[in-house]
Structure 1
């Protein structure tokens, strides 16, 4: 660690403050205006992972954050570079991911009407406020550690959200005579819980229920052990949203898996007399087919009091950290299992399986071939591709929380590859596989070069259905002219090889298993181009492409 007892520039104060909050890795691209930050990264022991596009840096920071539980940091320069990252920050906001995007800003005394400075943007902070939880702008070197502490407070307390930190160009270059002062040390997540009386009442409702059901979202990922204990105590089946997939191992007897949008889940919650929803917005992007027909009592656990009363009003709301509230709920329930007639779990599992296979029929051979190759602790970086949400979501088992990385809500394309890179950087000993469609991969295909340069063992499965298949089906369903959605993909295997990866092409689903297994042993990324021809249109699933 360098000696910072002498004059400290704004750039060094920024890097030192990030390190004080536990940051040791950043994803980004250097540029003219952020060089004073880059100058100090190596001296402070911060690893820089260079991406080929700022959107890729944002997605990589997202994947890193989801899988490590730490803040992911994207470091970009001004104007167009920062705006390139906007889609990724919007996605992190939608999925409640703590990503800090750091950029320079225009000088403090920059003319209000502008003067043509390089990368000049009229309202850079305004653009970021539209997609992030906040945009902070320190105005002195001494203020930088304060702003960093404020950013971490926003990201690590309450509902995780991304934050933008903008340091003016002249402040980056200014120096202070001694070390910059301000809050030091990482913010530790508080674990607030609901009032004891409310927890006791919720426990009584659940214990007395004849048919309790648990719905778990992304907000339950850091409460996997507590969720499992409550489910086992109640004997309650668990269904998850996309972001909650894997929070309960999907081969657990109580796990019905992901796919909260399926018709069987609507029947399930209609029959339930108490539904416990943990860390889920119950959002249209999860449900696809309108709100759930909740017939019994709804108990919600959520860190966000606004989310608590959005989409479905609870009969009982427990605002607090999911792990803490579930732990308190378990204590209130006591150790004796509930006395009730056994729930027909096997019947519900079979109905769920039938619904999932019906929806994903076109993709089942590929899903089964991929599943056969995956280790139990795999992380999947997926994209808004038909194979991922019709095929894999409800049919491919996942057994660890925060292991199915998918861009829900905001619904960006190109997420899967850079998110998988970020996950692998943050979890070098875990197997990671990226799965994308041919249309989505082209949004961030340059990040194949990033993965190759890093020497990552990373199978990249590209399921090629010749364009934007979902939109093609929607055009057909509307009776519209079908155009602008079908195109021939490049030879992705050859493209991967040209960027330093291995590459192979799969025409028969049975060959995908071996290709992924080989890719999981390779010394570099492996692009696996799966040429798939759709046989039937599945049921509609929203604005996916």
Structure 2
């Protein structure tokens, strides 16, 4: 133990504290907070900004958009299996409220990020100060309170003395695999600059250990008994498999028992695409192989999944009247879903123990032949839609994915979050390595891809990272390309031009809304957006931000451009306009999107009739 005190400002103390935090799991020890993203304004420039200036051991990265800074931190944390993340500092007002979307994404996906927004004066020398939210009935409320519902932990540091317990609690939450998400410490701007005598112990090196809690033996026995009794079991691998590093344990359990594995968006890559037990993705964006097996399964074994409606196909997918559930999850709330036998514990530890208990048990040979045939049939479908018959033709979106599959190394990372690409990627991508497939679909946030690619590249500079972005998503949040150029962070952007919101356009058509307001086109004489495409040159826009741009008009040119981008030594974009006439694969399961109950449009009335038919199949699993 050390003794004595050190006189520092609150901001200086916090930055020094963060620079000395470490996370350890299985003997691997890493920095908990790898650095701090920031955009400075009057609410943090004299506090956190000044503290970062004189604390180089906590590296600073200059952001262009506050939401994007959070996305970059989250992308980094995901690639590091949640063992390390970044802090993000902003001024008060719009800088702080811009954090809300990123915070929601982090919390929904159980990924750690530390938010340090500036706040109003604690001493209130001149109310209202610039950008202060002035509520006559609640003088202690600021815009930062908008972060409360999207944060796993929130505190406002009104006095210097409050920092020590709050900083420790913030680190506890950030490193807790059950509780982790966005953590917010709101910092009044006068308090940031206020000096205090801090105990030296506050700045000592500290290690936060991430344990692997084992499940209760009784729940393991009940789960093993239920698995042995099942004739058609199916494992659903969620993001918790990756967070736990349980891919090998999952593969061994599947090999021992012969139980097939389907994956959620977050769980993709839990098994290699060519593993004999691998069926691919499941749910509304899933493969025919996974969804067909799921419909007939009498037991679903969920591992690290929270059962979103896309995964469960809005509770219509698991159609067997006798279907039951076993859930392996470190979070009790998720383990108890679907009236399951809950097995609460670390995924890797639990799967290892289950494999031991199920030694000698194997599903019937005819079941194996059935699901292998389904997987083989789907592989033929993938080959058919991703391989262009003529390399001189304009690619469809599936062929863009096929070209990537041909060019990328198995360690390269593919990042996406929104639009029509997540569905195509989930169906068609052949994951060769656990962290190769990086699709954020818990919040499906447009604009995530580019900053997340920066975060992923920072997490592992030796891996090539490809951000797949449609034109709609690109226009939402391209600004961190400037950061990539400034910092020399080599990312690859694949910019797919399809002139609008392709995903929502397709959904709009299905619900009878006739793709209204989803195309990037001029208005026609009736006021609809069905005129000529907008003359927007996105490639020129990318180039104006300092990124090299390669054009690809054909499938052959696309492959060559992707190879060139991968070999480049600076941020590079591949711009490709896809052929909208090349249809996407239809959904293999139903998703509950309500349709207008009454309408003057025949398209809507027809969609409503189909909706009501599907709705009859929806059920709670009790």
Is this a same-fold pair by TM over 0.5? yes
Instruction: Give the deviation of 1:294 after TM superposition.
Output: 5.4
Flag the 1:521–1:358 CA change in 2: closer, same or farther, 3 A. Answer: closer
The answer for the alignment partner of 2:410 in structure 1 is 376
1:122-521 matches, within 5 Å, as 122-157=141-176, 158-179=178-199, 182=202, 185-221=206-242, 222=244, 223-261=246-284, 262=286, 263-293=288-318, 295=320, 296-310=323-337, 312-314=338-340, 316-334=341-359, 336=360, 338=362, 340-341=364-365, 343-344=368-369, 345-353=371-379, 363-386=397-420, 388-480=421-513, 482-487=515-520, 488=534, 490-521=536-567
In structure 2, which of residues 40, 50, 61 is the aligned counterpart of residue 49 of structure 1? 61
The 10-residue stretch of structure 1 (339-348 or 317-326) with the greater mean CA deviation from structure 2: 339-348
Secondary structure of 2:254 counterpart: helix
In structure 1, which of residues 96, 101, 117 is the aligned counterpart of residue 129 of structure 2? 117
1:6-85 matches, within 5 Å, as 6-21=6-21, 22=31, 23-35=33-45, 36-42=47-53, 43-69=55-81, 70-85=84-99
Deviations 1:68-117 (A, max 9, x none): 12233222222211111211111112211111111122222338xx8231
Secondary structure of 2:37 counterpart: strand
Flag the 1:482–1:238 CA change in 2: closer, same or farther, 3 A. Answer: closer
Instruction: Give the deviation of 1:228 after TM superposition.
Output: 1.6
The answer for the alignment partner of 2:617 in structure 1 is none
Root-mean-square deviation (CA, aligned residues, Å) is 2.6
The answer for the alignment partner of 2:529 in structure 1 is none
Q: Is the 8 A contact 1:457 1:519 kept in 2?
A: no
Flag the 1:74–1:236 CA change in 2: closer, same or farther, 3 A. Answer: same
Flag the 1:275–1:359 CA change in 2: closer, same or farther, 3 A. Answer: farther
How far apart, in 1, do the equivalents of 2:438 and 2:87 lie? Answer: 17
Flag the 1:273–1:287 CA change in 2: closer, same or farther, 3 A. Answer: closer
How far apart, in 1, do the equivalents of 2:59 and 2:202 lie? Answer: 24
How far apart, in 1, do the equivalents of 2:585 and 2:260 lie? Answer: 27
Instruction: Give the deviation of 1:363 after TM superposition.
Output: 2.7
The answer to whether 1:105 aligns with 2:105 is no
Flag the 1:153–1:383 CA change in 2: closer, same or farther, 3 A. Answer: same
Q: TM-score, normalised by structure 1?
A: 0.91
Secondary structure of 1:201 counterpart: helix
Deviations 1:223-267 (A, max 9, x none): 222212211221211110001111212222221222433354333
Instruction: Give the deviation of 1:350 after TM superposition.
Output: 2.7
Secondary structure of 2:207 counterpart: coil
How far apart, in 2, do the equivalents of 1:405 and 1:25 lie? Answer: 22
Instruction: Give the deviation of 1:320 after TM superposition.
Output: 1.7
How far apart, in 2, do the equivalents of 1:409 and 1:307 lie? Answer: 14
The answer for the alignment partner of 2:607 in structure 1 is none
Deviations 1:243-299 (A, max 9, x none): 111121222222122243335433312333332110111111434454432533311
Instruction: Give the deviation of 1:206 after TM superposition.
Output: 2.4
How far apart, in 1, do the equivalents of 2:312 and 2:386 lie? Answer: 16
Flag the 1:104–1:202 CA change in 2: closer, same or farther, 3 A. Answer: same
The answer for the alignment partner of 1:530 in structure 2 is 576
Secondary structure of 1:24 counterpart: strand
Structure 1: gaps (5+ residues): none
The 10-residue stretch of structure 1 (447-456 or 136-145) with the greater mean CA deviation from structure 2: 136-145
How far apart, in 1, do the equivalents of 2:577 and 2:476 lie? Answer: 19
How far apart, in 2, do the equivalents of 1:183 and 1:25 lie? Answer: 16
How far apart, in 1, do the equivalents of 2:93 and 2:550 lie? Answer: 38
How far apart, in 1, do the equivalents of 2:17 and 2:252 lie? Answer: 39
How far apart, in 1, do the equivalents of 2:558 and 2:169 lie? Answer: 47
Instruction: Give the deviation of 1:473 after TM superposition.
Output: 2.5
Flag the 1:84–1:489 CA change in 2: closer, same or farther, 3 A. Answer: farther
How far apart, in 2, do the equivalents of 1:382 and 1:277 lie? Answer: 24
Q: Is the 8 A contact 1:274 1:299 kept in 2?
A: yes
The 10-residue stretch of structure 1 (33-42 or 97-106) with the greater mean CA deviation from structure 2: 33-42
The 10-residue stretch of structure 1 (127-136 or 344-353) with the greater mean CA deviation from structure 2: 344-353
Deviations 1:170-211 (A, max 9, x none): 221111234465496132223222211211232233245433
- Counting matched residue pairs gives 535
Structure 2: gaps (5+ residues): 22-30, 134-140, 388-395, 521-533, 594-622
How far apart, in 2, do the equivalents of 1:281 and 1:339 lie? Answer: 26
How far apart, in 1, do the equivalents of 2:162 and 2:281 lie? Answer: 45
How far apart, in 2, do the equivalents of 1:348 and 1:159 lie? Answer: 38
The 10-residue stretch of structure 1 (346-355 or 427-436) with the greater mean CA deviation from structure 2: 346-355
Secondary structure of 1:187 counterpart: strand
How far apart, in 2, do the equivalents of 1:443 and 1:542 lie? Answer: 26
How far apart, in 2, do the equivalents of 1:471 and 1:427 lie? Answer: 34
Secondary structure of 1:200 counterpart: helix
